[in-house]
């Protein structure tokens, strides 16, 4: 049901539960995107398949009982690169991110100013809302992740200070575009938080990231910030991570100084979740809600409803029920990895999250 402002209301669900992001694309769409990139399919033909994939994804989300849905990033190049597609002032030889299994991802490098987004995340919402009957959330990439595009040696005629001013303006516009297009919640992907500690154990880089993101948030009202959240995890790609070896305790206290209300925190894959739940409890502010990860997206094993229930029970020992939510540890296909996890597995895990959360609430309320 929609309110007069046009924003869909989420029904009362006891303990709120939301997805994080990506869902593996259907093989048909994977093949079509490759064909389009090679000039063998028109954009109009690809759009038809985009509509089909988004419609099917949202229908499958709603069939799980999910009170909040997303388009599963079916039409994005990836959660991190959608603002960059088609820009002509980027080189391919930026910062290299190494994953535990040995593979790497390399970020682009800015070659000249000014810095502008090629697309805003809100542009994906019209298609999603056409098919959804429930509230739709939208993810955006953080300003801090985009800040890594600026070369360490600087750029002639485009100082870092001007780049950051342009970046903040674009990051604000990105979030604003989501609200303007009817997003229920806006989730800022902050997977580089733990990576910052790996790159700089002094945590100065992490503090710079926090400060930059807080500058972006300062452009939004308190009411708007209640609908903004941050997702954090040790980075995921091909069921591997880039910074799980960094102690979560190095990130969590600073994470909760962000001026947002919602935090989507990977926890199911942690070896010692109680240690980190205690740190969250020690730093939690009254206006914040913690969506605890109860689904391990790097494992192909589908959690039982009872496993999810027990993870919620554990989280509820440390986080007040009124400030507790549940989520998945991460998206199921980050960086457009559509093969490490199947769609069927992703939606089975989502179903377990929803049912396990409901079971836990029935016993905790």
Among candidate residues 94, 208, 90, 201, the one with its CA nearest the CA of residue 142: 208
User: Are 191 and 167 within 8 A, CB to CB?
Assistant: no
Query: Could you state, in order of their start, the residue ranges of all structural domains in the chain?
Result: 27-364
Cβ atoms within 10 Å of 331's Cβ, excluding its own: 28
Residue 10 has pLDDT above 60, yes or no: no
Distance CA 193, CA 143 (A): 12
**Strand-pair partners of 326:** 17, 292
pLDDT of residue 21: 85
Q: How confident is the model at residue 336 (pLDDT cuts 50, 70, 90)?
A: low
pLDDT (tens digit per residue) in 215-269: 999 999 999 999 999 999 988 887 888 888 999 999 999 999 999 999 999 999 9
H or E segment at 192?
helix 192-199
Q: What is the rounded CA–CA span in Å between residue 246 and residue 128?
A: 36
CB 184 within 8 A of CB 125: no
Does 12 have pLDDT greater than 70? no
Give the contacts of 136 (CB within 8 A, at least 6 positions apart).
8, 68, 69, 70, 71, 125, 128, 129, 182, 183, 184
Q: What percent of the chain has pLDDT over 70?
A: 96
Is the pLDDT at 4 greater than 60, yes or no? no
Q: Which two tokens stand for residue 275?
A: 């240690």
User: pLDDT, tens digit, for every residue of 275-321?
Assistant: 999 999 999 999 999 999 999 999 999 999 999 999 999 999 999 99
- The Cα 87–Cα 149 span in angstroms is 13
Helix boundaries (H) for 22-68: 27-37, 43-63
pLDDT of residue 363: 95
Q: Does domain 27-364 have CATH number 3.20.20.210?
A: yes
Number of C-beta neighbours around residue 126 at 10 A: 10
The half-sphere exposure of 337 on its side-chain side, counting CA atoms within 13 A, is 18
| Burial class, 199, CB count within 10 angstroms (exposed 0-12 / middle 13-18 / buried 19+) | middle
- Per residue in 119-149, pLDDT (tens digit) is 999 999 999 999 999 999 999 999 999 999 9
What is the per-residue pLDDT across 33-92, written as a single tens digit (0 to 9) for each?
989 989 999 999 999 999 999 999 999 999 999 999 999 999 998 888 999 999 999 999
Short-list 294, 304, 220, CA closest to 264 = 294
Integer angstrom CA distances of residue 325 from 15, 24, 39, 219, 288: 5, 24, 44, 26, 11
């Amino acid at each position: 049901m929609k309110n007069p402002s046009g924003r869909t209301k989420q029904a009362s669900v006891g303990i709120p539960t939301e997805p994080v992001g990506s869902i593996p694309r259907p093989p048909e769409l994977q093949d079509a995107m490759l064909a389009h990139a090679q000039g063998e399919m028109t954009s109009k033909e690809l759009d038809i398949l985009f509509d089909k994939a988004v419609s099917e994804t949202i229908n499958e989300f709603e069939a799980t009982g999910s009170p909040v849905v997303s388009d599963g990033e079916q039409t994005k190049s990836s959660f991190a690169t959608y603002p960059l597609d088609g820009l002509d002032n980027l080189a391919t030889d930026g910062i290299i991110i190494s994953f535990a299994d040995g593979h790497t991802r390399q970020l682009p490098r800015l070659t000249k100013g000014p810095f502008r987004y090629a697309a805003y995340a809100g542009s994906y919402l019209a298609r999603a809302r056409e098919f959804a009957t429930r509230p739709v959330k939208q993810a955006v990439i953080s300003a801090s992740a985009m800040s890594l595009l600026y070369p360490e040696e600087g750029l002639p005629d485009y100082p870092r200070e001007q780049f950051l001013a342009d970046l903040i303006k674009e990051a604000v516009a990105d979030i604003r575009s989501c609200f303007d297009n009817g997003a229920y919640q806006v989730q800022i992907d902050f997977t580089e938080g733990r990576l910052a500690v790996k790159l700089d154990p002094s945590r100065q880089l992490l503090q710079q990231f926090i400060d930059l993101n807080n500058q972006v948030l300062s452009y939004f009202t308190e009411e708007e910030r209640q609908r903004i959240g941050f997702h954090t995890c040790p980075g995921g790609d091909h069921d591997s991570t880039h910074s799980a070896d960094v102690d979560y305790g190095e990130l969590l206290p600073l994470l909760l100084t962000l001026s947002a209300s919602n935090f989507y925190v990977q926890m199911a894959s942690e070896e010692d979740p109680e240690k980190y739940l205690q740190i969250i409890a020690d730093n939690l502010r009254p206006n914040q809600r913690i969506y605890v990860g109860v689904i391990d997206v790097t494992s192909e094993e589908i959690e039982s409803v009872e496993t999810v229930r027990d993870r919620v029970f554990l989280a509820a020992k440390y986080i007040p029920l009124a400030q507790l939510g549940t989520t998945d540890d991460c998206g199921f296909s980050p960086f457009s990895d559509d093969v490490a996890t199947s769609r069927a597995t992703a939606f089975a895990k989502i179903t377990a999250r929803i049912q396990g959360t409901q079971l836990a609430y029935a016993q905790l309320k």
